[in-house]
């Protein structure tokens, strides 16, 4: 259980990841109300079980979170900083470069920090059901 550990860094990272999962699930419910049911299916099959698994410190949930964080680290810079995004008009060419780089690199830095914490406290995610 999340509340039985002394590490404030692990608690903070897990709480942030759980809140992100719940936010994605909440936005999926909004999409379902609009008629798009696929995000709700993803929320029921991925985001809610991931949030529960992270709360219970399940090792599979940790592995899924690590894989998703690595996806953020790799895809976020490539998706935003590329010539095709500029050609399609997704990025305003007239804005300064730092306005584009600051959100991307802060998101990547946060994901790398979370990866570090999840790697450092890997032993906390055990398979025993004594918690």
Q: What integer pLDDT is reported at residue 31 of this predicted model? A: 93
Q: Is residue 130 situated within a structural domain?
A: no
Structural domain that includes position 23: 2-124
Average pLDDT of span 20-25: 96
Q: Is residue 45 situated within a structural domain?
A: yes
Phi-psi region of 57 (alpha: psi -120 to 50; beta: other; left: phi over 0): left
Q: Is residue 51 situated within a structural domain?
A: yes
Q: Work out the burial of residue 53: count CB atoms within 10 Å of its CB; fewer than 13 is exposed, 13-18 middle, 19 or more buried.
A: buried
Q: Is residue 63 situated within a structural domain?
A: yes
Q: Is residue 129 situated within a structural domain?
A: no
Report the predicted TM-score, pTM, of the whole model to 2 decimal places. 0.85
Q: Is residue 46 situated within a structural domain?
A: yes
Render pLDDT for 32-59 as a digit per residue (tens, 0 to 9): 999 999 999 999 999 999 999 999 999 9
**Which residue's entry shows tokens 């690199």?**
105
Does residue 5 have a pLDDT over 70?
Answer: no
Find how far residue 58's CA is from the centre of its chain. 16
Q: Is residue 84 situated within a structural domain?
A: yes
Do residues 97 and 104 touch, judged by C-beta distance below 8 A? no
Does residue 79 have a pLDDT over 90?
Answer: no
Q: How many domains does the chain divide into? A: 1
**63-84 burial by CB neighbour count: b if 16+ within 10 A, else e?**
ebbeebbeebbeebeeeeeeee
């Amino acid at each position: 259980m999340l509340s039985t550990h002394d590490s404030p860094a692990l608690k903070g990272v897990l709480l942030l990841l759980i809140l992100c999962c719940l936010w994605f699930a909440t936005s999926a419910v909004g999409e379902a109300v609009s008629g798009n049911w696929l995000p709700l299916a993803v929320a029921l099959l991925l985001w809610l079980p991931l949030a529960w698994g992270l709360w219970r410190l399940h090792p599979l949930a940790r592995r899924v979170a690590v894989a998703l964080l690595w996806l953020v680290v790799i895809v976020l810079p490539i998706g935003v900083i590329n010539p095709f995004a500029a050609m399609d008009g997704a990025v305003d060419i007239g804005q300064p470069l730092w306005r584009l780089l600051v959100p991307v690199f802060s998101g990547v830095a946060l994901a790398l920090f979370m990866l570090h914490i999840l790697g450092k406290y890997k032993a906390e995610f055990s398979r025993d059901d004594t918690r």
